[in-house]
A and B are shown apart, each in its own frame.
Chain A
Amino acid sequence: MKRRRFLQALSTAPAVPALVQQAGAQQAPATVPAPAAPGRGGRGGATGQVPHIPVGTPDDSADTVAKFFTTGQFATLKKLAGILVPPVKGNVGALDTDAPEFLDFLIGASPAETQTLYRNGLDGLNASARRKFAKAFSEIDAKQADEILKPLLVQVPWVYDLPKDPMKHFVYQVHSDLRTATRNSPEANKAAANTGRRGGGGAGLFWNPIDPV
């Protein structure tokens, strides 16, 4: 968290010790309370209101370290991100939100089947670019990318009936994932809040773990 935000937050936090003192003044104890037993200090033993310290998320302050894809695969993913989910009409684009870095993390944590789909898909696009244009996919221009990508686009009316062709499947999946990673990013959320437009992932009711074992 930025130092300025932290200090702002502290300045608005309730002055708990003062409140405790007031309460004590109104209900003066007949006897001096016994000191707290050893180990009962700190928050665990607090009897009054405890200050709320605002905390941020890692994305507020730091960058994701991409480490799953190879350098070539990641360059292809970044190129795809810029083409498939560009900034349109004031909405943030995938590259503005570090969506490729997030997907590097997400796919790295995913089942092997998903990892294979992505790795083979990225390698396949790169091979296609080299075959057609003698360049890496990350180096081709938008028109050349269209030439490779458009034949791989399909409608998917039923999300559990994905294209049998692995490259078409991959392009559908990476497009969908980039859109979600972008829409659910802090940057999209902030842009939506600033402009009042739809586009951010918004908020929802999150269920905490309930009495976990």
Chain B
Amino acid sequence: MPKKEYDVLIVGSGHSGGMAANILTKKGISCLMLNAGPEADYQRDRTTKAAHELPYRGFNKPGRLPHVYQANEFNANQWVDEKENPYTHDPAKPYNWVRVRLLGGRSLFWARQSFRLSDLEFKAAEIDGGGDSWPISLDDLAPFYSRVEEIFHVTGRKEGWPQFPDGNFIEQNYPPDSRTIQKVTELCKTRGIGVSKMRSSQGEGGLASSINLLLPAAVDTGKLEVVSNAIVREITVDKKTGKANGAFFIDRHSKREMHVGAKVVILAAGTLESTRLLLNSGIANSSGVLGHYLHDQIYGVSVVASVPEARDGKAKPGMMGGSAFIPRFRNLSKAKKSSFIKGYCAIIGSGGSASPNHFAAYGEELQAKLDSYQGSCVSGSIYGERTVKFENHVRVNKEVKDAWGIPVLHIDVKDTPNEFAMAKDAADTFEELFKDAGWEILSKTDKFYPPGYSIHEVGTARMGNNPKTSVLNKWCQSHDIKNLFVVDGSSFVTCGWQNPTMTILALSMRASEYLAEELRKGNV
């Protein structure tokens, strides 16, 4: 006999799980949240240290976290240990799976860029044929975006551009742009490129996480219980009804195996962990597409230029500094064709300094150059949408298991010519722009990081109206098992160039309200 049966079991405590708990508990629904890792104590677990006090002088321990390029010796302990939690890939097809298992998950560390998807992404099949369309449109999700933006205190400048949908923003007075940012804006205007400002979640106290914006209200209802260090191994299904009825989990420390019962199961463990759990459970895959259509965004393409008038400390007040944000501007209509489909956004930063890597010099000569170029630089970098392919997939590798005996994922993803063409276009565009401004190009690269680096991995349990070609319906509900929902990035059909967090939150909110209503009606 189970000790207790909950209305809803939520696996994962990041933004999507936190939102599900927030919505459901406020409606009186009892929830149990299982999180694979511990809860961080921000006072106990963080210490200010000088780089020279670290064992490896800031270099990080050699060979540790080979896939997490974001890791350094200061933050190494926040990421998932790749020895305890390995995954596999063909060496010729690298994939950077960047994970956090602390309570709150990756919501503790995200960059807080807060965008809505547009109908360019929701209706991808109609726009460019690159991937399928979602079963929902911006109109369906807009009310939920607005409520999420209110909770997360999103700032932004309204523009009225269809590719960059406006939101429920906190009004903000932006200081006048520096003259270098003005120059970029003018040059973009002549090319028909719109320049705006970054949209960002302010959160509270510098944190825009589930642990401070979503979970406290859920806890206050008395309807949420949270268990940490609980590694879910398998979703269990009642053979008679075909419905999910709970999960097996393993205590992280003792490795004791437990089972918990629930009327509904919500997966919110992050795209690939949720899909791994479904694959290991052998459920929700009558379509055969579970694990497929993994995609994210390209990062790394950049151009850096130096403003000659700003060198040697001669920049006049108002010349340097500030930033601009350029939302997608390529392929906005069917009529305009370029060498690739989809698009990218760009961030322009002014007032930075040159890096030693920019100069083929050393010693005093290098120092003289670094001094001369200090504060004189303008940079442009992009986030671009990767195309969606059935072939880009994950599967269970039964030959390799994690520290708790659970089979790991094998990730099989390869970039296509579209990504390379997009990257080249971006590098060429910003090189030309900066040259037209009269600035010296210091570096230009059309190279980009391996898939996964963006930490925006989505897909693998995509939503759709057709149960034969999708895993979830438009409510993030399994086509196969009606009381199973997946509310993280797994459901994405296309990712766009946008940080997916606002969309994940809005989808989770929408799915949770749907579930609450279905529970009330007795339909689940």
Contact = CB atoms under 8 A, between A and B. Distances in A.
B172 interface: no
A88 B102 CA distance: 44
B92 interface: no
A86 interface: yes
Contact of B57 (A110, A175, A185): A185
A111 to B, nearest CB: 5
Highest count of chain A CB atoms <10 Å: which of B37, B59, B359: B59
Contacts of A209: 77
Given A84-B363, A86-B363, A89-B367, A206 B52 contact: no
Interface string A157-196: 1111100000000001001110111011110110000000
A148 interface: no
A210 B38 CA distance: 7
A155 B362 contact: no
Contacts of A111: 62-63
Interface in B51-96: 51-54, 56-59, 61-63, 69, 73-78, 84
B256 interface: no
Contacts of A179: 356
> Nearest 5 A-B pairs (CB), nearest first?
A157-B443, A201-B51, A211-B38, A184-B51, A153-B360
A57 B77 contact: no
Interface in B373-425: 403
Interface of B: 37-40, 44-54, 56-59, 61-63, 69, 73-78, 84, 102, 229, 252-253, 300, 302, 304, 356-364, 367, 403, 442-445, 447, 449
Contact of A205 (B46, B52, B63): B46
Given A86-B364, A157-B443, A186 B45 contact: no
A206 B54 contact: yes
B85 to A, nearest CB: 11
Interface string A74-86: 0000000001111
A83 B362 contact: yes
A206 B49 contact: yes
B50 A208 contact: no
A17 to B, nearest CB: 26
A88 B369 CA distance: 13
Contact of A189 (B37, B52, B63, B78): B52
Contacts of B367: 88-89, 91
A109 interface: yes
Interface of A: 57, 59, 83-86, 88-89, 91, 102, 106, 109-111, 114, 149-150, 153-161, 172, 175-177, 179-181, 183-186, 188-189, 200-211, 213
Given A161-B445, A203-B50, A175 B360 contact: no
A213 B253 contact: yes
A88 B368 CA distance: 9
14 contacts: A84-B363, A85-B362, A109-B61, A153-B360, A175-B362, A176-B356, A188-B52, A201-B58, A202-B51, A203-B49, A205-B48, A206-B47, A206-B48, A211-B37
Contacts of B300: 158, 160
A157 B444 contact: yes
Nearest to A156: B357
A59 B52 CA distance: 9
Contact of A213 (B74, B84, B444, B449): B84
A57 B56 CA distance: 12
Contacts of A208: 44-47, 77
Given A109-B62, A157-B445, A210 B77 contact: yes
B49 A153 contact: no
A170 to B, nearest CB: 14
Given A109-B61, A161-B447, A210-B102, 12 more contacts: A83-B362, A88-B367, A155-B443, A157-B443, A184-B51, A184-B59, A185-B52, A189-B51, A203-B49, A205-B46, A207-B45, A210-B38
B62 A110 contact: yes
A184 B57 contact: yes
A203 B357 contact: no
A202 B46 contact: no
Contacts of B49: 203-204, 206
Contact of B59 (A57, A106, A153, A154): A106
B58 A184 contact: yes
Contacts of B358: 155, 157
